Amino acid sequence: MSFDFSKLLSVAWGGWTTTWPTQLLALIWLAWLASWVGASFWQGRTQKQVMTLESGRYRIPILVGGILFTPWTAEVLGEKPLWVFSNTGVYIVALIVLAGISFTWWGRLHLGKFWSNTITHKEDHRVIDTGPYGIVRHPIYTGLIAGMLATGIAVGTVTAILGAILISLGMWQKGRMEEVFLSKELGEDAYGAYCRRVPMIIPFLSPR
């Protein structure tokens, strides 16, 4: 009995990634994911972090959203897009996604050893309010939300759009939990003052 790898490949590279240039969007996200996982080993020592059960408040919507967002879900469900962007439109979206990803990396590099994939208090932790953190309090989430929503709209499937929304809501929830945690850990005078001065996720909005 032989295994048909073509069927596996059709699922792995299916859904909304079956045609160019939407394949470009998938390649951009795969490149970002690989680079982000690789960089996750560069972080400082953790002194304290939010408990796992509490983190479920943001992890669950991000996990469910991530599953819905993937092209494989659309492939398995046999889903068709609600609309189809022109090639030029998809290329414009690709530029938006690249801009969002660049913003996440600016935030990641600027945060340095204080970055963490979870809500933590790092050794020698202090408020960072320069660079992208002088524009928004969570530039990594800002870039990801912009890129995810733009991709979902360009793809046009219900699952991709819903997935992007759930991921965005999960990141917003994580940001709120981070701010409560860091206000206690770093002090209301330091982190609380920063929150009153800089917008949370959307630039140029009133803080808080």
Q: Is residue 205 part of a domain?
A: no
Instruction: Confirm if 166 and 61 have CB atoms less than 8 A apart.
Output: yes
CATH of residue 131's domain is 1.20.120.1630
Mean pLDDT of 5-23: 63
Domain that holds residue 178: 20-35+42-197
Q: Is residue 12 part of a domain?
A: no
- CA of 63: how far to CAs of 66, 146, 161, 164, 165, in Å? 5, 18, 14, 11, 12
Is pLDDT of 112 > 80? yes
Is pLDDT of 33 > 90? yes
Percent of the chain having pLDDT more than 90? 61
Q: What is the band of 53 on the pLDDT scale with cuts at 50, 70, 90?
A: confident
Tokens standing for residue 152: 């979902």
What does DSSP assign to residue 86?
-
Distance of alpha carbon 203 from alpha carbon 208, whole angstroms: 12
Q: Is residue 90 part of a domain?
A: yes
Q: Is residue 5 part of a domain?
A: no
Tokens standing for residue 50: 């939010």
Q: What is the band of 122 on the pLDDT scale with cuts at 50, 70, 90?
A: confident
| pLDDT tens string 128-174 | 999 999 999 999 999 999 999 999 999 999 999 999 999 999 999 99
Q: Is residue 111 part of a domain?
A: yes
Q: Is residue 208 part of a domain?
A: no
Give the count of domains, the chain.
1
Distance of alpha carbon 37 from alpha carbon 49, whole angstroms: 20
**The pLDDT of residue 100:** 97
Q: Is residue 183 part of a domain?
A: yes
Q: Is residue 83 part of a domain?
A: yes
Exposed/middle/buried for residue 81 (C-beta within 10 Å: 0-12, 13-18, 19+): middle
**The pLDDT of residue 117:** 82
Distance of alpha carbon 81 from alpha carbon 79, whole angstroms: 7
Of 62, 54, 29, 97, residue with least CA distance to 169 = 62
| pLDDT tens string 54-67 | 889 999 999 999 99
Enter the pTM of the model. 0.88
Q: Which of 36-40, 75-79, 162-166 has the highest mean pLDDT?
A: 162-166
